[in-house]
Amino acid sequence: MNWLMTFFIAGLLTFGVYSIYSAGYGDPDYGGKWNEQLRMIIGGAVIYFAFALFDYRWVRWVALPAWITSVVLLSMTNVKLGGATSWLKIGEFQFQPSQAAIFSTILLLAIVLSELPKLHRFFDFPAVKIALCGAVIVPPLYLIMDEPDIGSAAVICTVLAVLLTAGGIPFRYLISMTLITILVIPILYFFGMKQYQKVRIDTWVKILNNQKVDTRNEGYSITNNMTAIGSAGFDGKGFNGERADGVRTIKELGLIPRNVAINDFIFTVIAEEHGFRGAATLIIAFALLLLQLLLIAYGSRDLFGRLLVIGLAAQIFFHAFMNMGMCIGAVPITGLPLPLISYGGTFVVILLTLFGIAQSVWVHRHVELEKAEEDEEEIGYFSTPQAV
């Protein structure tokens, strides 16, 4: 077991529960969300260790059924939150199918890039790989864009780009795809986005150019986030927002709504309470976790395991970058949660499942080597003169 990676995961999850507790403190509706998160973490931890013990290559048999199931669930979303119908409610159980779609897409893309070329050389041509990968991401991408959930769609596209690069696609193909994407972005902005999404981007551009925005409407969230983080200083304002001089934090004043303070804007709460040193420590913890994932990918026994881990690393990096970036005004607001920190039971369980698979890649990295050595010893024994 890679206990160092387990240590970083446990540390981030623990700090996440504490941050959710702090973000919802004193609120009757959100004060107990940390308890719900803790229960989901316990369930996810069981899955994490279970997946770590089994050989990760068995996921090849469930990747396609999982992908089909996630696409079907995406088409059934029926709960609208934050301007997007991105949640599915079945009885009392409610979850976000897009997270399951990203999980299954990573599994299926890894199979297309690593396992199909073993069946026939036709599947090893770069153009064929790209076409098959496109066929994998188009259905979930279309359904996610239709919700609309630009953030999750961007995660899938980022994972695809990283896996194509790690999967050996020549750079001339990657450069061509990048240029096509740049040409498509303006079309997506004018014809594929809802009005509120355009307003978010326009507001972000205005703030970057030091132009005036309406801080009571479209500029409300981004302005309050930047004010909260910028006023925290090096040490921060402390838990529950009570400073020595009695001044309350932006969160305590209600300028950061509790429903997003525990999820999308939890980095704002962390940075305001713990200051620059707390935010920097969190960023360093994510960096060290990503380094562990890259180490596991480097030591993988096959390309399939390497792509699984790299896909997870790409997802973690993009989520963390976008969540922190939108809180400090570096990127537009997208509504992506902070991995292992933000409130969200579905996301936590899926991440722990992926981390369990990554742990399995590490645990079984020497299996084929050990088997080959045993075969050599057996052959060598029966061929010795003493045996004859």
Contact 5/293 with Cβ under 8 angstroms? yes
Is there a domain that residue 223 lies in?
yes
* 324 CB burial (10 A radius; 0-12, 13-18, 19+): buried
* Type of residue found at 33: K
Is there a domain that residue 365 lies in?
no
Contact 26/34 with Cβ under 8 angstroms? no
Is there a domain that residue 312 lies in?
yes
* Beta pairing class for 79-81 and 84-90: antiparallel
| Total of domains in the chain | 1
* Beta pairing class for 93-95 and 84-90: antiparallel
Range of the domain at 158: 3-360
Contact 322/334 with Cβ under 8 angstroms? yes
* Residue 204, pLDDT score: 87
Is there a domain that residue 260 lies in?
yes
pLDDT tens digit at each of 388 positions of the chain: 899 999 999 999 999 999 999 888 878 888 889 999 999 999 999 999 999 999 999 999 999 999 999 999 988 887 777 666 778 877 777 788 899 999 999 999 999 999 999 888 888 899 999 999 999 999 999 999 888 888 899 999 999 999 999 998 999 999 999 999 999 888 888 887 888 788 888 888 888 888 888 888 888 888 888 988 998 888 888 876 555 556 677 888 878 888 888 998 999 999 999 999 999 999 999 999 999 999 999 999 899 999 999 999 999 999 999 999 999 988 888 888 999 999 988 899 999 999 999 999 999 988 765 554 555 454 453 344 443 3
Is there a domain that residue 140 lies in?
yes
DSSP code, position 301: S
Q: 274-278, long-range: CB within 8 Å, 24+ apart, which pairs? A: 274/232, 274/236, 275/232, 275/233, 275/234, 275/235, 275/236, 275/237, 276/232, 276/233, 276/234, 276/236, 277/234, 277/235, 277/236, 278/236
Is there a domain that residue 157 lies in?
yes
Is there a domain that residue 207 lies in?
yes
3-class DSSP assignment, residue 294: helix
* Type of residue found at 3: W
Which single residue is written with the structure tokens 């993009």? 318
Is there a domain that residue 385 lies in?
no
